[in-house]
């Protein structure tokens, strides 16, 4: 080729590193000839999909030849009545990642500034860089977001601040007073994107509900997903809730049919499946306790997490540990791409999966000593 097609890409895209997904179980089975691989690498719901969502999907298969409802009328109505906002405030996405990208595309010009924390969800940097905007990354405080630092970095050029509560991959969280005091200090013309992908798992009384803040802070955008506690990661549905003007702007850059037929009906269905949600949360809390105790016994430090994953410190390069666990048929997630080369993130699985994972980890740790 006489032409450098990489150099032809926009400046922002030239410097992008594609998102690194967790290793698929099938791939490891193929590569190492293993069976019964356990994947605890992508924060997926270990229960599998809700029965209700499954039967709804089955009943709608014959609609595959039709375009989806572009406006997502029924799902927006269901969300609005479940959580108490108006359907006009909702922007549906092909996963909440889609919505994060819509926000960046609609609101960022090259040279604008975007603030997010060290160790924050990696999609914030991807969507920021792709637009040619400048990332302003603030140092973490005890692995979490340092809101004072974030406020201190606000300039005339700041357009968006991304906050994950709780954050992935650290599992750290911000309390109600911390969040409110922060929102009070952010100028109205700067959008605050509060990513609540794991909110359903958090039980602490002091944990804020971003949706309750929308009326007081018109610059707030709350994003949520059906990928985690609702168990529909493969169908891709997420959404943003914002003021109606922001929703109007986002709808201008959205692909007309960005959420597919089956995703729309499955999401609506699982939203009413309270029993499934309760079981998801329950199995997560007991799994979390299992890992915390297990790590303590192994003498491993971990970052206390309120998500559906826990990140553990190997006190050495984590890649050999990751590899050794792969050879035992257990896939966890290295987080070196987050600047955490000594940590591994483990998604909470079913009890038997957690046991296999901890046993594999224990074996590796014993061999290192």
Ligand X SMILES: *Cc1c(COP(=O)(O)O)cnc(C)c1O
d(CA 213, CA 299): 40
Task: Report residue 155 as tokens.
Answer: 């300039």
Binding mask 238-267 for ligand X (x = CB under 6 A): x-----------------------------
Contacts of 222 (CB under 8 A, 6+ apart): 194, 196, 210, 211, 213, 214, 240, 241, 242
Segment near ligand X (CB under 6 A); pick from 28-36, 222-230, 240-248, 273-281: 222-230
Q: Does 305 bind ligand X (CB under 6 A)?
A: no
Taking the complex as a whole, the smallest distance from the CB of residue 103 to ligand X amounts, in Å, to 12
Among 53, 197, 222, 267, binds ligand X (CB under 6 A): 197
Contact present, 167 and 304 (Cβ < 8 Å): no
Task: Say which DSSP state 140 is in.
Answer: P
Least CB distance from residue 201 to ligand X, whole Å?
A: 11
350 is an interface residue for ligand X by CB under 6 A: no
Cβ at position 116, least distance to ligand X in Å = 11
Which residue stretch of 110-118, 128-136, 221-229, 360-368 sits at the interface with ligand X (rule: CB under 6 A)? 221-229
Which stretch, 93-101, 134-142, 272-280, 349-357, contacts ligand X (CB under 6 A)?
93-101
Piece in contact with ligand X (CB under 6 A), picked from 5-13, 91-99, 255-263, 332-340: 91-99
Closest CB 96 distance from ligand X, rounded Å: 4
Take residue 265 and report the two structure tokens written for it. 């009906």
The DSSP-derived string for 151-174 is HHT--TTEEEEEEESS-TTT----
CA max distance for the chain: 61
For 208-267, strand residue ranges (E) read: 220-225, 238-241
For residue 19, give the 3-state DSSP assignment: coil
Helix or strand (DSSP H, E) at 320: helix 319-327
Q: Binding residues for ligand X, how many (CB under 6 A)?
A: 14
Sheet hosting strand 333-335, strand order edge to edge: 301-303, 309-313, 340-347, 333-335
Q: What is the Cα–Cα distance from 365 to 111, expressed in whole angstroms?
A: 46
| Interface with ligand X, residue 164, by CB under 6 A | yes
Among 56, 89, 91, 97, binds ligand X (CB under 6 A): 97
Using CA atoms, how far apart are residues 54 and 107, in angstroms rounded to an integer?
37
Q: Kindly state whether residue 347 participates in binding ligand X, applying the rule CB under 6 A.
A: no
Do the beta carbons of residue 68 and residue 261 sit within 8 Å?
yes
125 binds ligand X (CB under 6 A): no
**Distance (Å, whole) CA 147 – CA 257:** 36
Stretch that binds ligand X, among 3-11, 89-97, 262-270, 285-293 (CB under 6 A): 89-97
41-80 residues near ligand X, rule: CB under 6 A: 43
Residue 126 beta carbon to ligand X: minimum distance, rounded to whole angstroms? 12
Among residues 85, 119, 121, 217, the one that binds ligand X under rule CB under 6 A: 121
Select the residue interacting with ligand X from 128, 168, 258, 308 (CB under 6 A).
168
Which tokens is 66 given? 């039709």
Residues 221 and 241: their CA atoms lie apart, in Å, by: 6
Pick the closer one to ligand X by CB: 233 or 253. Answer: 233
The residue whose Cβ lies closest to ligand X is 95
Nearer to ligand X, 95 or 294 (CB): 95
Q: For residue 165, state whether it binds ligand X (rule: CB under 6 A).
A: no
Nearer to ligand X, 16 or 233 (CB): 233
- The binding site for ligand X (CB under 6 A) comprises 43, 95-97, 121, 164, 168, 195, 197, 225, 227-228, 233, 238
């Amino acid at each position: 080729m006489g032409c450098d097609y990489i150099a032809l890409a926009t400046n922002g895209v030239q410097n992008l590193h594609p998102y690194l997904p967790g290793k698929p179980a099938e791939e490891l089975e193929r590569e190492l000839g293993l069976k019964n691989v356990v994947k605890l690498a992508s924060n997926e719901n270990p229960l599998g999909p809700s029965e209700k969502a499954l039967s709804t999907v089955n009943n709608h298969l014959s609609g595959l030849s039709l375009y989806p409802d572009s406006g997502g009328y029924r799902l927006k109505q269901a969300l609005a009545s479940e959580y108490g906002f108006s359907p006009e405030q909702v922007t549906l996405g092909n996963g909440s990642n889609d919505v994060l990208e819509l926000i960046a595309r609609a609101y960022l010009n090259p040279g604008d500034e975007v603030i997010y924390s060290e160790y924050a969800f990696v999609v914030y940097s991807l969507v920021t860089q792709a637009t040619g905007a400048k990332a302003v990354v603030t140092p973490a405080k005890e692995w979490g977001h340092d809101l004072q630092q974030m406020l201190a970095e606000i300039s005339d050029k700041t357009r968006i601040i991304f906050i994950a509560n709780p954050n992935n991959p650290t599992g750290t969280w911000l309390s109600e007073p911390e969040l409110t005091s922060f929102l009070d200090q952010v100028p109205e013309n700067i959008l605050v994107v509060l990513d609540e992908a794991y909110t359903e798992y958090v039980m602490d009384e002091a944990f804020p509900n971003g949706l309750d803040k929308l009326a007081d802070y018109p610059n707030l955008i709350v994003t949520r997903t059906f990928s985690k506690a609702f168990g529909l990661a493969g169908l891709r549905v997420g959404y943003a809730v914002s003021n109606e003007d922001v929703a109007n702007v986002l709808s201008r850059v959205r692909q007309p049919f960005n959420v597919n037929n089956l995703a729309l009906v499955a999401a609506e269905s699982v939203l009413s499946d309270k029993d499934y949600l309760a079981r998801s949360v329950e199995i997560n809390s007991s799994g979390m306790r299992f890992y915390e105790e297990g790590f303590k016994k192994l003498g491993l430090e971990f970052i206390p997490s309120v998500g559906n994953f826990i990140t553990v410190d190997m006190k050495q390069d984590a890649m050999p540990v990751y590899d050794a666990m792969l050879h035992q048929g257990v896939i966890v997630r290295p987080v070196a791409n987050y600047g955490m080369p000594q940590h591994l993130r483990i998604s909470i699985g079913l009890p038997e999966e957690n046991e296999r994972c901890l046993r594999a980890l224990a074996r590796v740790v014993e061999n290192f000593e």
